[in-house]
Structure 1
Amino acid sequence: MMINRILNTEGSWGALIARLTLGIVLFPHGAQKMLGLFGGYGFAATIDAFTNQMHLPWIVAFLVIMIEFFGSIFLILGFASRLWSLAITGLFIGIIFTTHLAHGFFMNWFGNQAGEGYEYALLIIGIAVTVLVNGSGKYAIDTQLVKLLNK
């Protein structure tokens, strides 16, 4: 069954660490956009900024917020981690090409660039691909779902 292939995971500590790292690091970014936490603007203002300032289609703006917010939560829980990791990989490839590529590799540590480089996005992609390949790891909802599906 296809759902078993997506959810099935080995009880790997490495996959757990990658999944939690990705979820925990991404959550504040999603919470900024969705809820206005951590100095963010919240849902409506973020949609407005993405569509009017960055000229992204509204569906792309909506998906960015959904993937960062719900993807991070579901990664922390270990629910459909491979699917969320695939979405995050696609999201951050898009972010590199629409926002960071023009600013080079390095982050703007000293404020002397016009914007941020793409090194952070590459780290996110690398961790997301690790979860995509290895699954959720230990202590994941996916593990329990597979057990239920195989009964």
Structure 2
Amino acid sequence: MNSRTADLSAPRPIVPVLAPLWQGLAPLAPLLVRVVTGALLIPHGAQKLFGWFGGYGLEGTGQYFASIGFEPGIVFAALVGLLEFFGGIALILGLLTRPVAAAVVVFMAVAFTIHLPNGYAWNSAGFEMPLFWGLMALAVLFQGGGRFSLDRVIGREV
């Protein structure tokens, strides 16, 4: 092995003085992804369930779901709202992390197909956000609850 291929797994830091900082913070990355994913799902669930944050509540959201072929619309609105609101809380806590993340991945895959005809950009109801949140949930699914989770505290994880 020559010197150019000797150790490809250990990149040299551009700013060596920061290396200990990045190494110390790296274990927090999965926690950050899990907590932010959960926290940003909660308001969407609150819109659907309670009409908060400019949402339409169960009735209005149910009408929308029915209009795009999900019947009975109110049932789908409730399921998605519950997943986003209480699933978001569960992700923040790291409780039932993988099952919740898997449900979010499935939901976002469906949302992706609904938004696909609108193109990419989120501000034109495109698929950008369902793709992003689906990938974040997939990362959480792969990682699990991690070191800082109720799954770890109770000693059980799916």
User: TM (normalized to structure 2)?
Assistant: 0.74
| Paired amino acid for 2:78 | F
Partner of 2:17: none
Partner of 2:92: 76
1:23 to 38, 41, 44: 38
Partner of 1:103: 118
Check conservation: 1:13, 1:137, Cα contact below 8 A: no
Q: Which runs of 5+ in 2 are unaligned?
A: 1-26
| Paired amino acid for 2:126 | G
1:13 to 10, 28, 31: 28
Partner of 2:79: 63
Shift of 1:69: 1.4
Shift of 1:38: 0.7
Percent identity, aligned pairs only, is 35
Q: Which runs of 4+ in 1 moved over 6 A?
A: none
Shift of 1:101: 0.3
User: TM (normalized to structure 1)?
Assistant: 0.77
Structure ranking higher on relative contact order (CA contacts 8 Å, 6+ apart): 1
| Paired amino acid for 1:118 | F
